[in-house]
Chains A and B, each alone.
Chain A
Amino acid sequence: MFAMLPGAFSLLGDQFKDYAWFPEQASTFAETNDWLYGVITFICFLFFIPIAGLLFYFAIRYRKPKGAKAESQVAHNTKVELIWSIAPSFVLIALFYLGARAYLDIRTVPEGSYEIGVQAFKWGWTMDYGRGTYNPELHLVVNEPTKLTMKSSDVIHSLYIPAFRAKKDIVPGRYNYMWFQPTVASEKVSEEELAKATQWTKESGQGWNYEKWQFTEHGYRFFDLYCTEYCGTNHSEMQTVVVVHETQEELDAWIKEVSARGSDVTPEAWGKLLYERRGCQGCHSLDGSKLSGPSYKDAYGSKRKLQTGEEVLFDENYVRESIINPKAKVAEGYAPVMPSFKGQLSDDDIYSITEFIKTQSSNTPVATPATTQPAADESAAGETKE
């Protein structure tokens, strides 16, 4: 019978896991913050329990039949009133001081932090790891102070990592900065589990399902990263994941892996990955349904009606222009909301996306000489024109 106890406890633990007050503490801010939260909550109870207790006690104790006179008609007691006006002020000053001190730590970015760029757009994230490597996932190194330099393509967003207790708005038209130091490295799941998930994903033909697997396609467990400033239709889906690596080498290896199309990856497959990772699929469907942007289904090779009334051929150049300068030729019936990806996609990336779009259309001419294109161009599209 006692053998069942651990099982029972873990069951109980699972029940309570749902009611935990905080997410895991995974940055240097978390401990201070949660401690402060605890202190404030304790002070709240210190005030609240007597207030609520007296409230109900008085309501019952001094309940009298109609017409009975009150036992006292004291109008005021200046001494008592001054005490309860001034005494709480000391508590408030203490809270203010503790909060402001911790806040200054959070605001002051340490020198020599590891830097990552963040581009927020409706409705997704692009992390810039330098040297033309972009990825929606945020990858960090444990115990390494990291500074994010953040900008927005369209409206205000806010980057929030609950496990780090860190949040900062991203305002268009300026750079906002934040920093943190992760303290917990992400676990790696077993090879079998990863293989199973990869196999499933391949067969289903869908993108990677973070929610289903609870680890990334490279097999890492992750922390959630949310947008917390309302930004329109898919605000609630503007989420990504944070992975914390054990060592810088591990991070570099991951960066290398995602930085460009490997020689064994077809442009179509790479284009599909980019379509999923870089936020295209938030607005452009593959099944013909109308989202914020036009669907890719049967788009390639068709005539596209523009807002201006003109008609253009949906070809390679149109795709390229729409990625680099989306507001130039806006399709009829759609708002010009797409952000520019100038400088964020390499020539090969754009080529791959075009190839992917071609696969979604029945209008595509059959023989496209894919071999003539260079694979994995280092330079990004915008910069080559200089």
Chain B
Amino acid sequence: MSAGSIPSGAQIRDPGYPTHSENYLTNSKGIMSWIFTLDHKRIGVMYLIGVTCAFAFAGLLALAIRLHLLSPDGAMFKGENANNIYNQVFTLHGAVMVFLFIIPSIPAALGNFLVPVMLGAKDVAFPRLNLCSFYLWMIGAVFFLMALLGSQLDTGWTFYTPYSTTTDTSVIAATMGAFILGFSSIFTGLNFIVTINTMRPPGMTWFRMPLFLWATYATSIIQVLATPVLGITLLLLIAERTMHIGIFDPEYNGDPVTFQHFFWFYSHPAVYIMILPAFGVISDLISVHSHKRIFGYRFIAYSSIAIALLGFLVWGHHMFTAGMSSLTTIIFSALTFTVSVPSAIKVFNWLATMYKGSISLTTPMCYAISFIFLFTIGGLTGLHLGTLATDLHLHDTYFVVAHFHYVMVGGTLVAFIGGVFHWWPKMFGKMYSELFGRLSCLIVFLGFNLTFLPQFVLGSRGMPRRYATYDPEFQSLHVMSTYGALLLGVGLTVALFTLLYSLIWGKRAPANPWGGATLEWHCTSPPPFYNFERAPSVGDPYEFGNVEWDSEDERYVSTEPERKLVPDEQPSEVPAH
């Protein structure tokens, strides 16, 4: 389908294709050129590979969990140790997904690649710090693997005391891992804050930044402010385990609930570290593929900041049953409700952006639409949990499991995959099969809903979470959920192979395959190692008026109206000033 036409006489602006020596992927060769690279794009690609491996690993663990729950007495792990193995598997699934995948997924992988390019800059503010943060991520991952191969962690990813101070599994290795990953996260956040503050090109005011940058900025603020608290908490936990300093363990006069306060003071904002970048991705995807200016730019930008700040005040809602005073509990409930407003604003704005747009149902757009659908369910079911009386029933049941998977998987993961499909041509210069891309989206959407919708019912019927075995009355819903998980696995595999296939057999990507107006579409695909020769002129990031479809070369180009040149001839009389 094509209906575009380039106005006659208009000047076409298109950067063309990079040469072999310009292309950041090929300009230097050899493994060392990757290991010691300071190029933010290469670091972004290495992150992308890293988080994908972590995701694949933790995803397989998730399938093992679901297969185990096919029967009430456990179908997957057998023998005396079955419950222990199940507990280790769900712990690793959670810990790897949270610390190694979701937190670094969009900010570190996509963010590293995109932030400087979107700013028209050559690199982030501190390229060496950036590489350092990648290696910290690697070291953290190694510690986690050590915990796995060592004495098997079984505390759940939350490390609740006094269980974590008394279990004989490798809590210390795992917490060291999380501690180091925390620094990786802090460095990335710090880098982006400085980059966005100081390296915006002339003309790019705060309110002419792409919304992805706003989201990244808000995320970075949380990373820098909240992650140190996690670091301190984990150090205290290690100290409690080794030296019995008596802060968390009641046996030494500590208070286990203190740990929960400390832990959620980080981990609740961390939830917004996970979802805010997804909001940024979706804002850009919806606008570009609707070829329409984003609706309510300022509201979306401010709501990102509002979420980042309010996110710090609601950690107590993880502890409604822990025995806080009634007053504290009620205050936390009230604050929790306030967070839902900025999220709702975003959903309304995305819908309004689609209204009267010119929508191309490309793969990234299909994922963006799935995101809105799934995230809305995830957000709305938060109301059941924020309301105190109903939370007492639903707390720590499968309802909570379903709720946060709708937000983290249906939200963040789907946005991440949508973002990867959207920027894939830019990152690797290849187009993938739209047919298989959209097919993967459909399978993921159906599989996901089949997995997690039954879990809401399991929860309201009273099935507690983290159970290796369960009462037979819950079986039919568990079986549905397991089939859904298998289908979801198929969908994700299709998506992965669609992308990998394109690397070798995909068509060469034009500079602007989707018709985006932000700066990354103004350099070649893939970008040259220096991104831009000189700082580009900055326009409105959501102004699509001059982006035209060139059906001959299957690309979008920006056009400029034909300019009349000043006549060449000299005036007959020279004015005397």
A interface residues (Cβ-Cβ under 8 A, vs B):
18-23, 29, 32-33, 36-37, 40-41, 43-44, 47-48, 51-52, 54-56, 58-59, 62-77, 80-81, 84-85, 88-89, 92-93, 95-96, 98-100, 102-104, 106-107, 154-156, 158, 160, 162-163, 165-169, 171-174, 176, 211, 224, 226-237, 289-291, 335, 337
A80 to B376, alpha carbons, bound, how many Å? 20
A155: chain B residues within 8 A (beta carbon): 160, 162-163, 166
Which B residues fall within an 8 A CB radius of A?
1-5, 80, 83-84, 87, 154, 156, 160, 162-163, 166-168, 250-251, 253-257, 290-299, 321-323, 326, 329-330, 333-334, 337-338, 340-341, 344-345, 347-349, 351-352, 354-361, 365, 369, 372-373, 376-377, 380-381, 383-384, 386-393, 395-397, 457, 460-462, 464-473, 476-477, 515, 542, 544-545, 548-549, 551
Instruction: Tally the A-B contacts, defined by beta carbons under 8 Å.
Output: 304
In contact, A36 and B387 (Cβ under 8 angstroms): yes
Closest CB in chain A relative to B164 CB, distance in Å: 9
The residue from A81, A156, A226 contacting B162, defined by CB atoms under 8 A apart: A156
Residues A66 and B354 in contact, CB atoms below 8 Å apart = no
**Residue A65 contacts which of B2, B154, B296, B461 (CB distance < 8 angstroms)?**
B2
Name the B residues within 8 Å of A58 (CB-CB). Answer: 351, 354-355, 357, 359
- 10 residue pairs bridging A and B, Cβ less than 8 Å apart: A21-B460, A73-B293, A88-B344, A160-B462, A160-B464, A165-B392, A228-B396, A228-B397, A230-B466, A236-B468
A81-B87 contact, Cβ under 8 Å, with A103-B392, A228-B464: no
Name the one of A23, A51, A95 contacting B462, with C-beta atoms under 8 angstroms: A23
Which secondary structure dominates where chain A touches chain B?
mixed
Residues B351 and A55 in contact, CB atoms below 8 Å apart? yes
**Bound CA span A166–B545, Å:** 58
Query: A103 is contacted by which of B341, B355, B389 (Cβ under 8 Å)?
Result: B389
Q: Determine which of A66, A166, A167, A291 lies in contact with B396 in the assembled complex, contact meaning CB atoms within 8 Å.
A: A167
A residues less than 8 Å from B334 (CB atoms):
96, 100
Contacts of B166 in A (CB 8 A): 154-155, 337
Tell me the bound Cα distance from A54 to B357 in angstroms. 13
Q: Which residues of A contact B340 (CB under 8 A)?
A: 88, 92
- Check A232 against B333 for contact (C-beta < 8 Å): no
CB pair A55 B333 closer than 8 Å: no
The listed residue (B254, B355, B465) touching A62 by CB distance below 8 A is B355
A157 to B299: give the CA distance in the assembly, Å: 43
Closest 10 CB pairs of A and B: A67-B4, A162-B462, A173-B250, A67-B549, A99-B387, A65-B1, A102-B389, A103-B388, A236-B467, A70-B292
Complex-state Cα separation, A36 to B542, whole angstroms: 43
* Nearest-Cβ distance from residue B303 to partner chain A, whole angstroms: 9
Contact (Cβ within 8 A) A76 B298: yes
Does the CB pair A75–B293 fall under 8 Å?
yes
The closest CB in chain A to the CB of B551 belongs to A67
Cβ–Cβ contact B390 & A37, under 8 A: yes
Asked, given contacts A70-B290, A155-B163, A236-B469, whether A19 binds B384 with beta carbons under 8 Å apart, the answer is: no
Question: Nearest B residue to A69 by beta-carbon distance?
Answer: B358
**In the complex, chain B residues whose CB is within 8 Å of the CB of A158:** 321, 396
The CA-CA distance from A92 to B168 in the complex, in Å, is: 45
**A11 → chain B, closest Cβ, in Å?**
15
Nearest A residue (CB) for B323: A176
Q: Which of B84, B337, B354, B473 contacts A59, CB < 8 Å?
A: B354
Q: Are the CB atoms of B462 and A76 closer together than 8 Å?
A: no
* Known pairs A51-B376, A76-B295, A167-B396; A162 contacts B461 (CB<8 A): yes
